[in-house]
Amino acid sequence: MTDATTASLSAVPPDDASTAARPSSWLTEARTFVAAVEKICRTDKGARAALRRGEGKPLDSPGVQGMHKVVAPLLPPAALYDDDTQRAHYAIAAMIAAQRSDAHTGAPAPAQNEQAASPAYGRSLGLTYAAAVASGGQDGMRESAAEDRLNLLTRQSINGLHRHLPAAVRQLCGKKCPPDWAQLLVDLRAWPRDRGRIGRRWLQDFYRARRAADLEAAKKADDQTEAQPPADDA
């Protein structure tokens, strides 16, 4: 077995009951990567500009050359043997950098010991779209629009997903519902091999969340009706 094959196999997160309660190795790596990129975007305008220029561009295009100085030192070792893994990391870094400046001025990412208590799975893109619908008002998204966009994304090849994601993410961030960058990185990294399962989870999460929101809204409406005093008889 070659070194490249060994590294590629070791990059696949274990999938057994003993690991179900803690983040996969991919998600742990992704959270570390995202925290580093967000810190760079908060503190280094030049590096952020270099990342932003690479948004939506192929790995070997001239617009991405400026990203290497920032992204290459942050890549997990397995990425060196896998173009799809590299492409996912570069894409997420560029999309983070492309968001409004005030998105990078919040509190720093949690320390390593705090990350250990993070959930085993991040928030899927389906849950993010459901949250955008639930937010309502000017910042909300029509349910039909969210459903259409999510269905479009789940039908894409890896090239199509890379092409459509930047606009989708800008729309979500514009609705003040940014994606879980780390989970999106994990999903984007695995998409070439597992797009059916990932797309199914996005859709299931969306519909389950919307159903729960509808039930909660109906319950609140019933409670308000019951709380109203009875009308006086004429």
pLDDT tens by residue, the chain, 234 residues:
444 433 333 334 444 333 344 568 999 999 999 999 999 999 999 999 999 999 999 999 999 999 999 999 999 998 999 999 999 999 999 999 999 876 554 434 443 334 444 567 899 999 999 999 998 767 689 999 999 999 999 999 999 999 999 999 999 999 999 999 999 999 999 999 999 999 999 999 999 999 998 888 677 666 666 666 666 554
Q: Are 92 and 54 in contact (CB under 8 A)?
A: no
Q: Are 51 and 96 in contact (CB under 8 A)?
A: yes
Cα 12 from Cα 23, distance rounded (Å): 13
| Domains detected in the chain | 22-218 (1.10.520.40)
Nearest to 29 by CA among 72, 77, 93, 83: 77
pLDDT at 216: 80
Q: Are 95 and 118 in contact (CB under 8 A)?
A: no
Q: Are 52 and 97 in contact (CB under 8 A)?
A: yes
Nearest to 169 by CA among 105, 101, 95: 95
Nearest to 124 by CA among 70, 73, 191, 62: 191
| pTM for this entry | 0.80
